[in-house]
Copies of this chain bind each other. A is one copy, B any other.
Amino acid sequence: MNPLADKSSLKGAVRSSNTSELQDMTKIEINPGVAPFPKPIILVGAMVEGNPNFITIAWFNRMNGTPNIWGLAMGKKHYTLEGIRKNGKFSVNFPSVELVEKTDFCGIYSGREVDKSNTFEVFYGELGDVPMIKECPVTAECSVHEIIELPKTALVLGEVRHAYSEERFMTDGALDARKTRPFVFIRPGDQYWSLGDAIGDAWSIGKVHKE
């Protein structure tokens, strides 16, 4: 098997760049340090030295279905991480577009320099001393499943134990993204972006391509 022999290869594409009409679609190698995709934005909460602290994180997603395990990666020196390691539990808070400034604030300053315990109205749920943000449409309490040490980050895997919302963010009993109004982080550019429109139903629109 030699895939370069019978498929369009990078080298082939680069060669075709002499043909001006093809140049626009020529593949070029770019900096491999990029991560050019929309990232969800969350506020991670934990008690640190007796006070609620929150940090903004974009390196986050679901990692397992049942149990519901979420993973978030953060620099090893973050103040909130101290609380997560010590308590074995933390919160994940999903801000709406209205909270974009406060969300950015929690990403700029460390809890070591700035007291973030009064940035939001804090509430607590079943797990006890896990601070959650009342202004966030959806929040969750997680217990640490495992912390994986990567070269520069700690990858915190947490199992969702309890989740909270309000009736006003639901339609027919289910959370409605048109009401929770999440936003994403875009790099390069380092901007927060709102969401647009639904463009198709998953597990459905692709069926047209089955022969």
Contacts and interface: CB of A to CB of B under 8 A. Distances in A.
Interface of A: 1, 3-4, 7-10, 13, 23-40, 42, 47, 50, 52, 58-71, 73, 94, 97, 100-109, 114, 119, 121-126, 128-129, 131, 134, 138, 140, 148, 150-153, 155, 157, 160-168, 174-177, 180, 182-186, 188-210
B148 A148 contact: yes
Copies in the complex: 2
Nearest to A189: B177
A191 B7 CA distance: 33
A203 B59 contact: no
Given A34-B175, A64-B151, A201 B190 contact: yes
A165 B168 CA distance: 42
B186 A198 contact: yes
B164 A27 contact: yes
A105 B59 contact: no
A6 B115 CA distance: 18
10 contacts: A3-B129, A4-B124, A7-B124, A26-B167, A27-B164, A38-B195, A105-B208, A191-B199, A191-B202, A194-B199
Nearest to A65: B152
Given A7-B123, A40-B37, A199 B192 contact: yes
